[in-house]
């Protein structure tokens, strides 16, 4: 997905092989949202998680040169929307994603 921010074009994508979502500018990756897909089951400690997989977001980072433009928020929104579209629930250990979720309750239904 391409998005124009501050008159510059950024490309958001999922790198499933690398278990991360990326944002690129001028064909260079300038930000990532890393994740781990974990299997869940009947013995999972969170009874709201259906059997299958849960995506756990572990780290989000955007290069300092591109900071202050809301790029990390766009990256996290893209990652959460893509995860929901894939039919997966998610959890997070990433403080940035936690803060994002506090401001965006529309993702509450996709949390494991």
Half-sphere CA count of 78, side-chain side, radius 13 A: 24
Rounded mean pLDDT of 1-29? Answer: 94
pLDDT tens column, 22-54: 999 999 999 999 999 998 764 545 444 445 789
Element (DSSP H or E) covering residue 3: strand 2-5
Confidence at residue 52, expressed as pLDDT on a 0 to 100 scale: 74
- Measured CA to CA, the distance from residue 3 to residue 64 in angstroms comes to 19
Question: What is the largest distance, in Å, between two alpha-carbon atoms of the chain?
Answer: 49
Backbone angles phi, psi at 76, to 5 degrees: -65, -45
Residue 64 in this model has a pLDDT that exceeds 70: yes
* Domains along the chain with CATH numbers: 2-44+51-110 (3.40.630.30)
What is the model's pTM?
0.88
Percent of the chain with pLDDT over 70: 90
Confidence at residue 22, expressed as pLDDT on a 0 to 100 scale: 98
């Amino acid at each position: 997905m391409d998005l124009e921010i501050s008159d510059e074009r950024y490309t958001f994508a999922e790198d499933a092989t690398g278990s991360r979502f990326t944002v690129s500018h001028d064909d260079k990756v300038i930000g990532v949202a890393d994740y781990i897909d974990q299997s869940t089951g009947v013995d999972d400690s969170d009874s709201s998680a259906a059997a299958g997989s849960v995506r756990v977001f572990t780290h989000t980072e955007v290069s300092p040169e591109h900071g202050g433009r809301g790029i990390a928020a766009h990256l996290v929104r893209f990652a959460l929307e893509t995860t929901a579209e894939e039919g997966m629930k998610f959890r997070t250990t990433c403080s940035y994603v936690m803060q994002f979720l506090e401001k965006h309750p529309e993702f509450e239904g996709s949390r494991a």
